[in-house]
Amino acid sequence: MGLISKNSIINSIISYAGLAIGAFNIIFLFGQYLNSNEIGTIFLLIAFSKTFAGIAGLGFNQGIIKFNPYFKNNPFYFFKILTILAISLALICVTLWATDLESLIFSGNLNSLKNHNLPIYIASTSLVIYNLIEAYAISNIEIIKVSITREIVPRITLTILVLLYSINLISFDLFLIVFSFSNVISIIILIPTLKKIIRNDDIIRNNSKLLNLYYRYSSFIYLATLVAVLAENSDLLIIGQKISIDNAGLFQVSSYLATLIIIPYRTLSLTTSPIISNAWKNKDFNLLNDIYKKSSEVQWFLGLIIFSFIVINFNVFTYFYPANSKEIFNIFIVLGAVKLIDMGFGQNSEIIINSNSWKINFLIQILVLILFIISNLLLVSRFGSIGSAYASIISFLSLNLFRFFYLKRKYNLSPFSAVTIKIPIILLSNFLFLLDLKNDIITLLFRNLIFILIILILVFVLNISPEIKKHFKKITEWIGFSSH
């Protein structure tokens, strides 16, 4: 437990550092030194590489994590899996190069990406290999190295490249090619974690039964991975295809700001998942319902605080995007609402995934993905970039309602309480009056201080929720303030 606790703390620090670097890149460097077409090209390169890597990966990564204790670090399995992945990746690349499929993918408004197909293939190939080695690193409890390669390396690489490009030391074409190799840097960092495999002398006997189990499990995970990859990237690809690469870049800026809202959810889920799993094992429905309600209260409140803070200071966040500030703001409001919906429905995904009904969550995700893609195609054509945000709110509201009614009907679990209703009414009514104030520095500082005061009164004076108060006490103690 000591190792887990220590790794968890260090991992959190690395994750937040990566988030800060990413925010610096997108809010400051991108806005000041790149045009919207260049921003869109970078984000689309990332989206395409993730999509191609997801297709080529065959679901092997999660399978490695699950089956590694049975493989006993036998190099036979590692190199056999690596060979299959190499063949899969080669088939995809050859198919794209040798047919008109590449022309179909990079058609319309994405036609200019044909000039950058090499960085996309390099990034896809290196990402497949990185994901494989990362899975082995996770299996061997090399979590800190994984966090560094996942959260820090690509963002620092991007920072350096933008700065070099800003002083004309490199062209944009070279920028993209070097950036596509950022996964190679991560691979080099993780290669030492393979020593346990390569140096293992307890070689090599093919356990076909175990390998068949591995392949069957990976096949199911593969479908889940494709759903996740398409859900993550399809909106950006559709905007780039139907509108322009410029609009795709601006949409992703709004999307990044919206992802800041769900930071508390990601942190909380790391803590609740093992507790939820144990509660299912013991059939402790009271504990499950308690976690469901309390997670909803805390996530809802913290999500609204972050959302409100970004809205109040939006001119600061988009200072380097003056010509596009209004468009970014409008998309952010809708995407922010999407994240708030996710936060308000509590840990519904974790509760279903850790139950015997975990396959239901997968089936629901497939249905919602279909809805998401169809609504994106229709609404982007009708409303432009913000149509994709509308599609997101329709799809994610549907997803959470499916989960809500399933858990309510089957297990009589619900995340909502009187506190859930009071939080948005009180918080939003108190911050709305701050929006019309002037945007000079003094006023900006004043309205942020007032907003912080409102939150502290809600938590410590009005005691809006004991669970929220407990979390805020931990936060104040963590930053050095005593509650005594």
d(CA 161, CA 117) in angstroms, rounded, equals 19
Phi, psi of 347 (to 5 degrees): -90, 50
Residue 199, phi then psi, degrees to nearest 5: -90, -5
Angle (CA) 135-138-144 rounded to 5° is: 130
Compute φ and ψ for 8, nearest 5 degrees.
Answer: -65, -45
Look at residue 70 in the predicted model and tell me its pLDDT: 57
Core vs surface per residue 238-267: b (16+ CB within 10 A) or e: bbbbbbbbbbbbbbbbbbbbbebbbbbbeb
- pTM score over 0.85: no
How many angstroms from the chain centroid is the CA of residue 104?
28
CA–CA dist 53, 43 (Å, integer): 15
Q: What is the pLDDT of residue 170?
A: 92
Buried b / exposed e over 363-392, threshold 16 CB at 10 Å, is: ebbeebbeebbebbbebbeeebbbbbbbbb
Phi, psi for residue 373 in degrees, rounded to 5: -70, -45
Distance CA 132, CA 71 (A): 15
Integer CA distances (angstroms), 367 to 36, 47, 167, 372, in order? 33, 22, 48, 9
The whole-angstrom separation of Cα 290 and Cα 139 is: 32
Q: CB of 334 within 8 A of CB of 393?
A: yes
Radius of gyration in angstroms for the set of CA atoms belonging to the chain, rounded to a whole number: 23
How many CB atoms are closer than 10 A to CB 1?
A: 5
Rounded Cα–Cα distance for residues 149 and 353 (Å):
27
How far apart, in whole angstroms, are the C-alpha atoms of residue 477 and residue 407? 35
Would you tell me the crossing angle of helices 285-312 and 466-478 to the nearest 10 degrees? 60
List the domain boundaries for the chain. 1-233, 243-484
CA distance 358 to 224: 12
Which residue in this structure is represented by tokens 């005061």? 453
Check residue 261 and report its DSSP letter. Answer: G
- Give the residue from 312, 295, 315 showing the smallest Cα distance to 427: 312
**What pLDDT does residue 483 have?**
44
Q: What is the pLDDT along the chain (484 residues), one digit of tens a residue?
A: 344 444 555 666 777 788 889 889 988 899 889 988 888 889 888 888 888 777 776 666 666 666 655 555 555 555 556 566 666 666 666 565 555 555 556 666 676 777 777 888 888 888 888 887 777 777 666 767 877 888 889 999 999 999 999 999 999 999 999 998 888 888 888 877 766 554 443 433 455 666 666 666 666 666 767 777 777 778 888 888 888 888 888 888 898 889 888 877 776 775 676 677 778 878 888 888 888 888 888 888 888 888 888 888 888 888 888 778 888 889 999 999 999 998 888 888 888 877 777 677 778 888 888 888 899 889 998 898 899 999 999 999 998 999 899 999 988 988 888 777 777 776 666 666 666 556 677 777 887 888 888 888 887 877 777 777 776 776 655 554 444 4
> DSSP code of 436?
T
Asked if 149 contacts 186 with a C-beta cutoff of 8 angstroms, the reply is yes
